[in-house]
Structure 1
Amino acid sequence: MIKTYRWAVIGYGAIANEMAQTLAEHGRMFYGVAGRNQERTAAFAEKYQIQKIYGKIEEVFADDQVDIVYIATPHNTHIQYLREALKAGKHVLCEKAVTLNTEELKEARQLAEKQDVVLAEAMTIYHMPLYKKLREVIADGKLGKLQLIQVSFGSYKEYDMSNRFFNPALAGGALLDIGVYALAFARIFLSQAPDQILSKVRTAPSGVDEQVGILMANPVNEMVTVTLTLHAKQPKRGVVIFEKGYVEIYDYPRADQAVIIYTEDGRKEIVACGRKEEALLYEVEDMEQAVLGGKNEMNLSDTSDVMDIMTEIRRHWRIVYSEETTETECEI
């Protein structure tokens, strides 16, 4: 008999709606929903036929009927909900960026380990079948040794300092919003985490990062270049370059196809696996497998490596959000 898990969602924004739609398309629904605005919470519940509406977010964590909590709120709120959910013994799938910094993530990981529950970041890249297939192709050695990874992500956002992309009160900025995808893409192909990081940032009037260039290398001299912008649409393109060829992937956050070009003869090989439309379903399925005790650690070590990189980069920029101010750094 297949185990059925009850999911509760915190939040009612765009990604929460997309997840609810994905579940509905496969004959499922959230068990419960909670949010700060009761009118919007009730509207979300009605739209997706969710039976349980919580008056307060804290009620989610006290509900014995809830197996998995899906956190889909702005990332500066994540740690407070992670603390409460994990302490209550709930498994948690949390939207990216999973926390603001390394220290918050370490705390959350320790709580998850103590309570023996699954903690995971809702990063589509970790769960798309294409990447699992590509790792098999790379492992056979036909492409040779990894040399370089190039990743870009650009979005054109309305230049309004009050929206979430530019608002420091909502932990805005390119790095935590879109850079997390680019760095996750790079990390799944690198044999080791980077230990050398250089970056250049352009800040918005609000003080958050709006355009970024990053150069990284790891102990075995595999290199990565990353370009991010909130000012221009650019292809979500990743290129993974080996001695004997390279892999090119477009729309990499939810990719279902890649092209391998072999250097010696220019031969092209198309690798197709999975469906981009099912990206969130793959997350749900992998999460439930992990909760069930399957061999799936939800790439939490990769999540931690990416968080370490982003924390180090922001430390260098001296961009610190109000929730994480220290004596040595400047609040924006």
Structure 2
Amino acid sequence: MNTWGILGCGTIANEMAETFQKMGRVIYGVSSRTPEKTVKFAEKYGIKHVYQTYEEMLEDEKIDIVYIATPHSMHYENMIKAVKAGKHVLCEKAITVNEAQLNEVMALAEEKGVVVREAMTISHMPLYKKLKERIREGAIGKLKMVQVNFGSNKGYDSASRFFALEAAGGALLDIGVYAASFARTFLSEAPNTILTTVEFLETGADEQSGIIMKNTKGEMAVMCLTLRAKQPKRGVVSGDKGYIEVYEYPRACRAAITNTETGEVETVEAGKTEDALKYEVEAMEGCAAGDYEDDCQEITRDVMKILTSVKTQWGMKYPFE
């Protein structure tokens, strides 16, 4: 049984801790930037080991896997320390803020013989494995186009990490990582052409954008992102014989496949939305044990390459880069 330590005590860390409880599992230790929060978190979830610093947690040889739930502006620094300490890492998205950071972390992980994975729900929901099988079986014919939206209306606050450039705020890394992961999941290869336009906030972070991608096989993807207007979380995967529709795609368990020749609609179901983080835990532990393989790391690398290309075209740079 793997021993887990959690870094961070925010919303997603609480959700992960609740997942461990549902699985009948014990979290070994926890640390965060705020000692008072760490103690309350530990009391809430029955965690026995509370560390005053992240470094102290990493020194504990009993911890096998570290779950990183800090803001994404801190992921690179946190992961480098964890990997150097010989820990496997499950890190929240966006896993880093640029491709260079990710490449460095992955190279170090390979050197140290540990596994680093992004906690991207799309890479772990059983529905996507089933949909890719249906595509291979010819359900939509030849893949042509992926369209994917994500829009949140968070209420503007220039001091919020969602909008602050110094915190790597903006739509691209906060919600665009989901849209890009959805698109890359279905594209048969990474894009080699990326076009984009953007509207910036007064903070210098990106408020909304349009992104068009194409690969060498002529498959295209169109992404629409915004932080100040609600959009349905809708993904459409279109082929020359049909199309797939997925709503609430980050944690989807149901999709519809429409045959455009007959009009017939097939409903595809797999997994449970409420078990999204459970699938991440199981996959992480399987990889740490060396008996689980998937394309999560390839998708993570390709998505970060896409996001970095987009950000570079915009001329947007975070102050700490």
TM-score of the superposed pair, with normalisation by structure 1 = 0.95
Equivalent residue, structure 1, for 2:33? 36
Which AA in structure 1 matches 2:174? D
Which AA in structure 2 matches 1:218? N
Name the CA distance, whole Å, in 2 between partners of 1:163 and 1:24: 30
Contact 1:290 1:297 in 2 (8 A): no
Number of aligned positions between the proteins: 321
Equivalent residue, structure 1, for 2:309? 312
Query: For 1:276-305, what per-residue CA distance to the aligned partner results, in whole angstroms no more than 9, with x for missing partners?
Result: 000000000011111111132461111010
Equivalent residue, structure 1, for 2:287? 290
Equivalent residue, structure 1, for 2:95? 98
1:269 to 242, 266, 270: 266
Which AA in structure 1 matches 2:162? F
Name the CA distance, whole Å, in 2 between partners of 1:205 and 1:307: 25
Unaligned runs of 5+ in 2: none
Query: For 1:28-61, what per-residue CA distance to the aligned partner results, in whole angstroms no more than 9, with x for missing partners?
Result: 1321100111001111111111111001111121
Name the CA distance, whole Å, in 1 between partners of 2:291 and 2:122: 19
Contact 1:286 1:298 in 2 (8 A): no
Contact 1:287 1:298 in 2 (8 A): no
Contact 1:237 1:250 in 2 (8 A): yes
1:143 aligns with 2:140: yes
Query: For 1:157-196, what per-residue CA distance to the aligned partner results, in whole angstroms no more than 9, with x for missing partners?
Result: 1100111110112110000000000000010110110010
Equivalent residue, structure 2, for 1:213? 210
1:214 to partner: Cα distance? 0.5
Name the CA distance, whole Å, in 1 between partners of 2:142 and 2:284: 32
SS at match of 1:70: strand
Task: Specify whether residues 25 and 119 from structure 1 end up closer, same or farther in structure 2 by C-alpha distance, changes over 3 A only.
Answer: same
1:163 aligns with 2:160: yes
SS at match of 2:233: strand
CA RMSD, Structure 1 to Structure 2 (Å): 0.8
TM-score of the superposed pair, with normalisation by structure 2 = 0.99
Name the CA distance, whole Å, in 2 between partners of 1:122 and 1:29: 19
Which AA in structure 2 matches 1:172? G
Contact 2:245 2:256 in 1 (8 A): yes
Contact 1:146 1:243 in 2 (8 A): yes
Q: How does 1:169-188 map to 2 (within 5 A)?
A: 169-188=166-185
Unaligned runs of 5+ in 1: 325-332
Which AA in structure 2 matches 1:98? I
1:318 to partner: Cα distance? 1.0
Q: How does 1:1-332 map to 2 (within 5 A)?
A: 4-297=1-294, 299-324=296-321
Query: For 1:208-243, what per-residue CA distance to the aligned partner results, in whole angstroms no more than 9, with x for missing partners?
Result: 001111011001110000001111111100000011
Contact 2:139 2:257 in 1 (8 A): no
Moved over 3 A (4+): none
Which AA in structure 2 matches 1:137? R
Contact 2:283 2:292 in 1 (8 A): no
Query: For 1:240-297, what per-residue CA distance to the aligned partner results, in whole angstroms no more than 9, with x for missing partners?
Result: 0011000000000000000000011110000000000000000000111111111324
Name the CA distance, whole Å, in 2 between partners of 1:129 and 1:214: 27
Name the CA distance, whole Å, in 1 between partners of 2:27 and 2:175: 27
